[in-house]
Homo-oligomer: A and B are copies of this chain.
Amino acid sequence: MKRVKLVVGYDGTNYCGWQIQPNGITIEEVLNKKLSELLGEEIKVIGASRTDSGVHALGNVAVFDTNTQIPAEKISYALNQRLPEDITIQNSCEVPLEFHPRYCNSIKTYEYKILNRKFQIPLQRLYSHFVYIPLNISAMEEAARYIVGEHDFKSFCSSRTQVEDTIRTVYSLTISKSDETITIRITGNGFLYNMVRIIVGTLIKVGLGVYPAEHVKEIMEERDRKAAGPKVPGKGLTLVKIDYEDMK
């Protein structure tokens, strides 16, 4: 038996997120079905990030165990022939049997895109959040400085979470603007439920002038979801990559 790691890209528009659930089709479900068909055995993938409904990925990670004779590197090509066009395997390789995509230390990078102009651009509507009031980028950058570092992110976490330890480290948070698209790129050692989307919703409130930048420090200290800004829509969010510290 061997363990195979997949790097998975997908357009989340037509999926109810990663994790199997009764209300609609999910990425995990499609991968299990197509891998089982391809390999002729029942396959169950373990995902690194259980992305929410509508959230996209360039490089989410999943592993599965198999007895197949097909070399791990070839599985990406064979599986892509069977997958729908909104899911594409970017890479497949063998990993040690003890490698677990959630329990091994990793660094995750997300991007959130905001289209900031007077009118929507239809070509960008599925992959960005539209804000028609001009945002003050330098105020947002100032606020971002309070997010970077090791903090208790309880205020920036869905109140539905059951996690007890809400301390995480954000390694970097950059805000760039190209034409009229603002890209917020955030890297960290782990993210709480809805954390990126609540951080972005809070930064937008700063960019609109509703909060002064330094108010983000107070929000952090409150340790209360109600103190932070709203959760922005999933469609603007893309899981860019997951780097595992103990793997090359």
Query: Interface residues, chain A, CB within 8 Å of chain B?
Result: 9-11, 56, 58, 76, 80, 85-90, 119-123, 125, 127, 238
Contact (Cβ within 8 A) B56 A123: yes
Leading 8 A-B pairs by shortest Cβ distance: A11-B122, A88-B120, A86-B122, A10-B122, A90-B119, A88-B119, A11-B123, A9-B122
The interface residues of chain B lying within 8 Å CB-to-CB of A86 are: 122, 125
Measured CB to CB, the closest approach of chain B to A235, in angstroms, equals: 11
Q: Which residues of B contact A56 (CB under 8 A)?
A: 122-123
- Interface SS of chain A: mixed
A27 CB to nearest chain B CB (Å): 11
Most buried by B among A58, A80, A90, A119: A119
Given contacts A11-B125, A125-B11, A120 and B58 within 8 Å (CB-CB): no
- Check A125/B9 contact, CB under 8 A, given A76-B119, A119-B90: no
List chain B residues, Cβ under 8 A from A87. 122
Q: Could you list 27 examples of A-B contacts with CB < 8 Å?
A: A9-B119, A9-B120, A9-B121, A9-B123, A10-B122, A11-B122, A11-B123, A11-B125, A56-B122, A56-B123, A58-B121, A58-B123, A76-B119, A80-B119, A85-B120, A85-B122, A85-B125, A86-B122, A86-B125, A87-B122, A88-B119, A88-B120, A88-B121, A88-B122, A89-B119, A90-B119, A123-B127
Closest to A86 in B: B122
CB distance from A229 to the nearest CB of B (A): 24
Chain B residues lying within 8 Å of A90, measured Cβ to Cβ, are 119
Give every chain B residue within 8 A of A89 (Cβ-Cβ).
Answer: 119
